[in-house]
Structure 1
Amino acid sequence: MKTVIMQPYFFPYLGYFQLMHAADTFVFLDDVNFIKKGFINRNSILLNGRAHQLSLPVNKISQNKLINEHTIRNDDTSILTTFKHAYARAPYYENVAPLLANLISYKEVNLSYYLAHQLQSICEYLGIKCRFLFSSRLDKDPSVKGQDKIIALCKNLQTSHYINANGGKHLYEPQAFAQANIQLNFINPLMPKYQQYGNTFVNNLSIIDAMMFNSKEELSDLAGQYLIE
């Protein structure tokens, strides 16, 4: 079984969904500390030819609290207004806008559950199928941190194969996973370009950008364009 364990992010970029595409089981790592100025509650879209940052309103953000201990305000209609300004002329805006409206207004105040619902719904739109779990609901030693926590979660799930984002190579020691009889690999997203409004491609934007400019069939192809190393 191939397992991926990642913090839930707010409308993350295509590479995040490539991790989901590669997984049999995807675990939302929601019982770790919130990281300010990261991707848990913010991401970027294309507005006026440039990357424009959007933020999800989170109450009393603290790096001393876990992700699943935070709550949100999901009555901020300005996010939908910004989406419309950015993408009203995009070829698939009419297809995507109703989904975005449902996700933004979803009646859940817990940050972890709100983001998980968002991510699972987008996976369904993209045609990605895997099992979803929350690390906070799995049995484990709460004192275990970092790499040891990931290995413990993998053992709990009886997984044979752990896949992580390529940027996390410095966090893990292959020997430690090998000793636990777990194969460790990293995903290398190919991040193909697609047609946006202009001739200059702006990369590393939210998955929303890819959804606005690509059909479901094209998105399914983009989600599978990566290498496992």
Structure 2
Amino acid sequence: MIVSIHQPNYLPYIGFFSKMKQSDVFVIMDIAQYVRRDFHNRNRIKTPNGPMWLTIPVKHNRSFKQRICDIKLPEDREWAKKHWVALQRNYAKTEFFEQYSPFFKELFENPPGTLSELNEKIILYLTEAFGIKTKVVRSSQFQVDENLKATDLLINIIKKAEGDTYLSGKGREGHDHYIEEDKFEKAGIKLKFQEFNHPVYRQKFQDFLPNMAAVDLLFNEGENSVNFI
């Protein structure tokens, strides 16, 4: 059984879902440490003026480490209003915006309490919209030893998920640079690396821009999106 693991990024890009599609079990690593200026709370969409960052202004205590699942969303929902308006403004004329936008409208009008919950809702919705059948679970569902580091923690999670193969990512949103291959071999777990070549699909505005949030693909290609993942 192939297991892949990834942190719950905000509005993930296509490579995130490509990794998921190639797996039998996809583990949302919500117990991972929150990192500033990563993709945990931000991503990009396409506009007439090029890529635009959508960033959630989360409060992060820099004096100690916080897990992604412990990061609270701002009580002020102005950010959510801005993100919804940005999606409307830049995707309203795409072929499939009307079909898929109600989910995002409702989510941004009534966001959950934590960043991890928000990201998971988006991930699960896009997984279904893309027709991906992979089983998705959270790392926090398992009784894992969070004191373990890097490869040891991954192996612990893979075993909890009953996997015998680990699919390691090499995408735009980071890669498992800390992989210790010898430890996987000793644990009896096969190691595979994701092969992802970014596809070209229909987009609005000017030339094609890769590495946008996956909603860019969904709003432009609809049910056909799965053929690009």
Whether the TM-score (by the shorter chain) exceeds 0.5 is: yes
Q: What is residue 193 of structure 2 aligned with on the other side?
A: 186
Matched, 1:100 2:101: no
1:127 paired residue number: 131
Give the whole-Å Cα distance in 1 for the aligned partners of 2:199 and 2:154: 30
CA distance in 2, matches of 1:97, 1:137: 30
State the partner residue of 1:70.
71
What SS does structure 2 have at the residue aligned with 1:46? Answer: strand
Moved more, 120-129 or 56-65: 56-65
Q: Secondary structure at 1:205's aligned position in 2?
A: coil
Moved over 4 A (4+): none
Give unpaired runs (5+ residues) of structure 1. Answer: 224-229
What are the superposed Cα offsets for residues 62-83 of structure 1, whole Å, 9 maximum, x if unpaired? 4721111111137321111111
* TM-score (normalizing by structure 2): 0.90
Question: Does residue 1:111 correspond to 2:115, yes or no?
Answer: yes
Q: CA RMSD in A?
A: 1.8
Instruction: Give the Cα separation in 2 of the matches to 1:221 and 1:139.
Output: 36
Q: Within 1, Cα distance between the matches of 2:154 and 2:86?
A: 37
Quote the Cα distance in structure 2 between the aligned partners of 1:166 and 1:109.
31
Query: Paired residues, what number?
Result: 222
Query: Are residues 1:91 and 2:92 paired?
Result: no
The equivalent residue for 2:46 is 46
Cα deviation code 1:94-144 (max 9, x no counterpart): 122212213333442022122112101111111111222221221122210
Task: Return 5+ residue gaps in structure 2 as ranges.
Answer: none
Distance 1:70 1:50, change over 3 A: same
Q: Deviations over 1:143-196 (max 9, x none)?
A: 101111001111222211111212525321222211111111111112110121
TM-score, normalised relative to structure 1: 0.90
- The range that moved more, 88-97 or 183-192, is 88-97
What is residue 148 of structure 1 aligned with on the other side?
152
Sequence identity percentage: 25
Contact 2:44 2:212 in 1 (8 A): yes
CA–CA separation in structure 2 for the residues paired with 1:8 and 1:103: 16
1:212 counterpart = 2:219: yes
Whether the 8 Å contact between 2:139 and 2:157 is mirrored in structure 1 is: yes
